[in-house]
Structure formats: structure tokens, C-alpha cells
């Protein structure tokens, strides 16, 4: 732009770069417009390109907001029956979206979903609470390593039950406390950062309310919290307080 004698070319250059318009394209413009009209033509083109870029950004932002609203509705389950047959992957995805800020860019999320598994009878809002607790713990564990890490969310069928597994690359759960992590008020987090109720509540929801199981396998760099849910409802539904 300076080579063509255009004043303050730095004002429009970023828009052209963002739109992928290079010097060859601008040379074609210069060849098609007389010299005295070139500044006005480039200024008009810069305004047009900026407008198009802004419209594209608005469209993208609107789509992301809509996606977030849908995820929030799915996560809260406010407009759904408290107990119904659900696709667990929809619940997992909505929880991951809601926790994306907590997860942050330093944690790589890998989804290993078996889409062939059937839907399960469940209390979806409460399962979302379980996913929230387990993902939050995994992210906190990864943060303890002082660097990035990977959170893997896996689903699979195991006989007459559905497995949902959360695997993290954190330092692991020491063997001497592994039997206590589901106890109420037990936490390894610093004071003010954990209540010690997340895993206890998760246990009550999975085991007491869904007649499933919640277990942990852990070695340094590979900790797996595994939720197993029955694929068919119990003959006599039972709820916990």
C-alpha cells in the first residue's frame, strides 16, 4: 500500500490480511483503477471487507451462543422429565461445553464414544452432576502436574451395563487413600478449594439412585473413574434421600 502511495495503509492492511487478500490481488485492483481514484477504491474495499468480516464474526458468535444455550438447557434438564431414557453422550457433551472454561486450553479433551451403546434409563440432571464432579476432579489433578494433560471420556458396553470412564494424566490417587476418596468430607485439595462432597454425592447418585457402580483405578499418569449404569431399569426403583 505504501508502494502505491496510499496514506495510512496500515489502517486497512489488517482487514485485507484477515480476508486472505494478498499483494497480487491488490495489484489487480491498482491496474484496473486510475491512480487518482486508487486511494478511494482501496478505502471502499477496506470498508467492505471489514463489514463482511464483522458479519461473519457475528454469525459465528450467534452460532456459538445458540450452541451454549442448547448445552445449558440439556445440562440443566429443566424442560425434561426427571427420569427418562437418555443418550448418555448428549449429557456428556453438554457437561463438557458447560465446563469448557474450567477445562481451559491446557487440557486436551479426547472423546472415545461407542455410539452403538443403547440409551439408558436415568435421572439425567443428576448424572450431569456426576459428570461435573468427575471432570472437575480430573482437571484439578492435571493441573497438579504443572503443565498440560489429557482428559479422555470413554463409553462402552460391558454386558448388561454401560461404562462411562473419565481418564486423566494427573499424578494419580495414592493407594493409601484410595479407599477413602468416596467418604463424605474427605478431600486432598487445599482448604477452601474442595468440600470433600463431590465424590460422595456422585457415589450416592450412581449407586443409590441408579443401582450402578462407581470405581477408580489409578497409577501415576493414568487415573480412571468408571461409572457403570444398568441398561434396564430395576424392578423396584429406589431413591436415596
Owner of C-alpha cell 481514484: 37
d(CA 232, CA 227): 15
Residues 115 and 20 in one domain: no
Rounded Cα–Cα distance for residues 226 and 155 (Å) = 10
Of 223 and 39, the one with more pLDDT: 223
**Tens digit of each residue's pLDDT (9 = 90 or more) over 22-43:** 888 888 888 887 778 888 888 8
**Structural domain for 176, as ranges:** 86-230
Work out how many domains the chain is built from and give that number. 2
- Give SS3 for 152: strand
Query: Is residue 75, in this structure, part of any structural domain at all?
Result: no
Q: Are 234 and 211 in contact (CB under 8 A)?
A: yes
For residue 1, tell me if it sits in a domain.
Answer: no
Which triple of cell numbers denotes residue 126? 443428576
DSSP state, 205? I
Nearest-10 Cα torsion for 112, 221, 173, 125? -20
Q: Is the pLDDT of residue 194 over 70?
A: no
183 with 108, same domain: the answer is: yes
Same domain, 54 and 173: no
Cα 109 to Cα 104, 115, 180, 214: the distances in Å are: 10, 17, 28, 21
CATH at 209? 3.30.565.10
Are 52 and 131 part of one and the same domain? no
Please write the tens of the pLDDT for every residue from 116-145.
999 999 999 999 999 999 999 999 999 988
Mean pLDDT of 16-20: 86
Give the pLDDT confidence score for residue 189 in this predicted structure: 62
Instruction: Report pLDDT for 237.
Output: 47
Q: Which helix (H) or strand (E) holds 130?
A: helix 124-143
Amino acid at each position: 500500500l505504501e508502494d502505491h502511495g496510499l496514506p495510512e495503509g496500515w489502517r486497512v492492511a489488517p482487514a485485507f490480511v484477515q480476508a486472505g487478500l494478498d499483494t497480487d490481488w491488490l495489484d489487480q485492483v491498482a491496474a484496473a483503477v486510475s491512480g487518482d481514484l486508487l486511494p478511494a477504491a482501496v478505502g471502499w474495499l477496506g470498508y467492505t471487507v471489514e463489514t463482511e468480516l464483522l458479519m461473519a464474526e457475528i454469525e459465528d458468535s450467534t452460532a456459538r451462543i445458540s450452541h451454549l444455550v442448547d448445552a445449558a438447557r440439556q445440562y440443566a434438564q429443566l424442560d425434561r422429565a426427571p427420569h427418562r431414557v437418555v443418550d448418555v453422550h448428549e449429557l456428556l457433551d453438554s457437561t463438557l461445553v458447560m465446563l469448557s472454561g474450567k477445562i481451559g486450553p491446557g487440557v486436551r479433551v479426547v472423546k472415545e464414544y461407542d455410539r452403538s451403546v443403547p440409551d439408558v434409563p436415568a435421572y439425567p440432571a443428576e448424572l450431569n452432576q456426576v459428570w461435573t464432579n468427575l471432570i472437575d476432579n480430573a482437571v484439578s489433578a492435571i493441573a497438579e502436574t504443572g503443565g498440560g494433560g489429557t482428559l479422555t471420556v470413554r463409553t462402552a458396553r460391558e454386558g448388561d451395563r454401560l461404562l462411562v470412564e473419565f481418564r486423566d494424566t494427573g499424578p494419580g490417587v495414592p493407594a493409601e487413600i484410595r479407599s477413602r476418596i468416596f467418604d463424605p468430607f474427605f478431600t486432598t485439595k487445599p482448604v477452601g478449594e474442595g468440600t470433600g462432597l463431590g465424590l460422595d454425592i456422585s457415589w450416592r447418585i450412581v449407586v443409590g439412585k441408579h443401582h450402578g457402580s462407581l470405581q477408580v483405578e489409578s497409577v501415576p499418569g493414568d487415573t480412571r473413574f468408571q461409572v457403570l449404569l444398568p441398561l434396564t431399569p430395576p424392578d423396584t426403583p429406589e431413591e436415596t434421600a
